[in-house]
C-alpha cells in the first residue's frame, strides 16, 4: 500500500500524533503517521525505531511495505547507504507487488552510486550501481526516474572508462605499448559511448605511430574528427593527420 506522504503528515498533525513519543494504542495508521512525521523532521533515529516497531509488531498490516520503505528512506537520509540499499532490496524481494518497488529499485541503485569512489580506487560499488540501474531501466521503463537513472548510469560508465584509459596511459608512459593497447581497446570495446573514447583512439594512434605503422595510426586519428568533432582530441588528431599524410 503506497500512502500519500503529505496526507500522512497532515493526519499526524490533526490527530495529535506529533508528540515526542510514539502513540500508544492509536493503531498502526497513527504509528505510521508519527514515524513519517519524525522522518520529515529529520529525527531519523525516532523514525527508524518506529518503522521497525511496525514491521515487527504488525506483520500482517497493510502498512508493512510502507514501513519498510520508510525505514530505507530513514537510513538513506542518514547516509547509511549500505543499510538503506539492503532495506530497499528487501522491500522488492518481500513485496514484489508493492507500488514502492520501482522507487525502491532506483533508490537501491542510487545508494551504490553514492558509494562509488574516485576512478583510481576500487570500483566494486560502481559495478553494483551499474547493475542496479540496468535492472531498474529494464524492469521499470515507464518510471519517472528513468531520465535520472540514465544520466547516473552514464556517469558511472564514464568513471570506469576513465580508470581503464588512465591505466593504458600509465603503461604507454612506461613504454609497455602492448599493455597500453589492451587498456585503450578495452575503453573502446566496453565504454565506446563515453567521453574517453576519443582519448583511447588517440592513444592507439600514437602507439601505432611510434611503432612505424602509419596507416594504422591514420586510421585511429581519422576516427576522432569524424565521430568526436567536439572532443578534446579533435584538434590534435587533425594535426596528426595533416603531418602523417604529408610524409
Q: Using CA atoms, how far apart are residues 211 and 246, in angstroms rounded to an integer?
A: 18
Question: What is the 8-class DSSP label of residue 19?
Answer: S
Q: How far apart are CA 52 and CA 212, in angstroms?
A: 68
The mean pLDDT of 151-171, rounded to a whole number, is 98
Confirm whether 5 is domain-assigned.
yes
- Residue 6, in any domain of the structure: yes
115: in domain = no
Per-residue model confidence as pLDDT tens digits over 176-216: 999 999 999 999 999 999 999 999 999 999 999 999 999 99
Report yes or no on 89 lying in a domain.
Answer: yes
- Per-residue confidence at 27, pLDDT binned at 50, 70, 90? confident
For residue 87, is it within any domain? yes
What's the whole-number mean pLDDT along residues 82-108? Answer: 97
Report the domain count for the chain.
1
Whether residue 53 lies inside any domain: the answer is yes
CA end-to-end span of the chain, whole Å?
A: 72
Residue 227 lies in a domain: no
Angle between helices 28-41 and 5-14 (to 10 degrees): 100
| Residue 9 pLDDT > 60 | no
**Does 86 fall in a domain?**
yes
The pLDDT assigned to 127 comes to 98
Span 216-238, average pLDDT? 96
Instruction: Write the pLDDT tens digit of every residue in 125-158.
Output: 999 999 999 999 999 999 999 999 999 999 999 9
The parent domain of residue 13 ranges over 1-95
Burial of 56 (0-12, 13-18, 19+ CB in 10 A): exposed
Amino acid at each position: 500500500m503506497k500512502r500519500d506522504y503529505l496526507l500522512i503528515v497532515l493526519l499526524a498533525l490533526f490527530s495529535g500524533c506529533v508528540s515526542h513519543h510514539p502513540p500508544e494504542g492509536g493503531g498502526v495508521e497513527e504509528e505510521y503517521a508519527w514515524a513519517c512525521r519524525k522522518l520529515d523532521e529529520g529525527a531519523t533515529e525516532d523514525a527508524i525505531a518506529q518503522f521497525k516497531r511496525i514491521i515487527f509488531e504488525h506483520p500482517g498490516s497493510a502498512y508493512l511495505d510502507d514501513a519498510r520503505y520508510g525505514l530505507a528512506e530513514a537510513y538513506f537520509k542518514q547516509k547509511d547507504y549500505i543499510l538503506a540499499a539492503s532495506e530497499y532490496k528487501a522491500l522488492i524481494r518481500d513485496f514484489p507487488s508493492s507500488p514502492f518497488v520501482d522507487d525502491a529499485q532506483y533508490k537501491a541503485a542510487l545508494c551504490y552510486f553514492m558509494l562509488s569512489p574516485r576512478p583510481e580506487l576500487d570500483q566494486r560499488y560502481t559495478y553494483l550501481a551499474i547493475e542496479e540501474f540496468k535492472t531498474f531501466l529494464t524492469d521499470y521503463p515507464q518510471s519517472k526516474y528513468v531520465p535520472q537513472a540514465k544520466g547516473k548510469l552514464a556517469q558511472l560508465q564514464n568513471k570506469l572508462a576513465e580508470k581503464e584509459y588512465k591505466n593504458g596511459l600509465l603503461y604507454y608512459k612506461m613504454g609497455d605499448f602492448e599493455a597500453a593497447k589492451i587498456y585503450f581497446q578495452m575503453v573502446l570495446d566496453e565504454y565506446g559511448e563515453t567521453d574517453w573514447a576519443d582519448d583511447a583512439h588517440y592513444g592507439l594512434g600514437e602507439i601505432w605511430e611510434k611503432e612505424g605503422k602509419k596507416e594504422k595510426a591514420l586510421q585511429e586519428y581519422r576516427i576522432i574528427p569524424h565521430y568526436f568533432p567536439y572532443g578534446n582530441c579533435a584538434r590534435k588528431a587533425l594535426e596528426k593527420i595533416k603531418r602523417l599524410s604529408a610524409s
